[in-house]
Amino acid sequence: MKNKNSAVNHRPNARTIHITKYMDGVFEETEDSISWEEPLEIRICNSNSGTCTQFAVTMRTPGEDEDLAAGLLLTEGILKNPLDFKTEKTGKVESNVIEAWLADYSGEMDLKRQIPSYSSCGLCGKTSIDQVFVKGARIQHTFRAIRPEIILSLPEKMHLHQKMFSETGGLHGAALFTSDGAILAWAEDIGRHNAVDKVLGRSFIQGYLEKGKILQISGRAGFEIVQKAAIAGIPILSSVSAPSSLAVETAEAFGITLLCFVRGNRFNIYTHGSRITGQLMAEHRDKF
């Protein structure tokens, strides 16, 4: 049968399209929900001079654009004070351009992230490897070690808030938790980096970022997500999938506890295991 391949409906996070489904030798005309993806241009504007500079173009799931812009600027080392951050959409209400007005932006920083940054790759908008290493302090957070059961409960708690993932199966999720497993913020996006930026941006703007101790993500733990956690001061990063070698090295350097393959009744500790109780003997902790 012919696939109509045309959208029949859409809403902020998903589109419903006509498809042809094949199963057990039978073709069937039906409908399917797919993730919505559109570009967002982020501009940095000086509140004093009124001038704006293009910062980045990123593919994202529409919605929560202010959170996305705030999180991206925060983890790039540009946004320092939530009180200095104001945004406005240009043109129509559904515009794909957002202006971030920063009172303390001098215009002197090197803004070279002016080529498209795609949702699947948080580094696609970087012009050189040197720009990847945003300065961040080594995390020294001390609190009572977390029980493994709390870590194992986080993916399901995050999943309960992934309403569009349940419908489309095509969105990444991120969530910020306290040390006792209470959820503070969550977000979904077609790009895992965008989901993280939305969570961190919202937490930063609303003033509870410091309460966040564990960042849970649905995808793999790549270098830039570890870097984002470091800049935001999050001591524990938990992933349901695999890490990269550079992610492990970065987590070790920044003092982040990196947990991966957090599934069912298991997870792997890659760095700074002393924040998790009962997992490693004291003399072997922090050697991963």
- Active-site residues: which are they? 121
- Residues shown for the chain: 288
Q: Of all helices (H) and strands (E), which one includes residue 154?
A: helix 148-159
Q: Percentages helix, strand, coil for the chain, rounded to the nearest 5?
A: 30, 35, 40
Distances (CA, A) of 199 to 2, 120, 257: 41, 17, 19
Nearest to 235 by CA among 218, 211, 219: 211
Distances (CA, A) of 75 to 48, 143, 269, 282: 23, 24, 24, 32
Return the number of other C-beta atoms located less than 10 Å from residue 69's C-beta.
Answer: 26
Q: Of all helices (H) and strands (E), which one includes residue 249?
A: helix 245-254
Please give the DSSP secondary-structure letter assigned to residue 49: T
